[in-house]
Amino acid sequence: MSATPIQLTPDPLAPFRISPGFNVNGVLFLSGHAAISETGELVGIGDFDAQAEATFQSLQRTLQAGGSNLSKVVKVTIYLTDMSYFERIVALRQQWFSAPYPADTIVEVKALALPELMIEIEAIATTD
């Protein structure tokens, strides 16, 4: 079995000692992505919609770096600090993914890695 790290330049997760993800025999396992820009800045503090947009863009960037894209995502886990955003997540899934939609788990958590973060998404995708 071959596991190759996905490389981002610049890598906003490097200061946290987190790999963006790995390609394991054509299956990508991505770390949780949040509203952190390519240069490591927080995006949309206090604004769920801005954070969600930045999170999906970050996810898309890492998928592309790993030789995949959003249409090849088979599973996502979405962490929210407030489940009242659930309906927005449903709309965002329709905006960013297409049928058949990925398998999904949505979990409300007390907090994420940085106190300003409101959403985090991890994903599994294929490269073929």
pLDDT in tens, 6-40: 999 999 888 889 999 999 999 999 999 999 999 99
Q: Does residue 127 sit within a domain? A: no
39-51 tens-digit pLDDT: 999 999 999 999 9
- Domain presence at residue 59: yes
The answer to which of 37-41, 78-82, 123-127 has the lowest mean pLDDT is 37-41
Q: Note down the domain range covering 53.
A: 3-16+31-115
Strand bridging mode 73-80 / 21-24 = unpaired
> Is 26 part of any domain?
no
CB atoms within 10 A of CB 115: 8
In sequence order, the β-bridge partners of residue 28 are 23, 125
Asked if residue 8 is part of any domain, the answer here is: yes
Can you give the pLDDT at residue 83? 98
CA distance 58 to 64: 10
What is the per-residue pLDDT across 82-105, written as a single tens digit (0 to 9) for each? 999 999 999 999 999 999 999 999
pLDDT tens digits, 50-75: 999 999 999 999 999 999 999 999 99
Q: Tell me the CATH number at 66.
A: 3.30.1330.40
Position 110 confidence tier, pLDDT thresholds 50, 70, 90: very high
Total number of domains in the chain: 1
Distance CA(122)–CA(62), nearest Å, equals: 11
CA distance 71 to 46: 29
Question: Is 100 a member of any domain?
Answer: yes
pLDDT at 1: 76
Q: Find the helix packing angle between 48-65 and 86-96, rounded to 10°.
A: 40
Residue 105 falls within a domain, yes or no?
yes
- Is 51 contained in some domain? yes
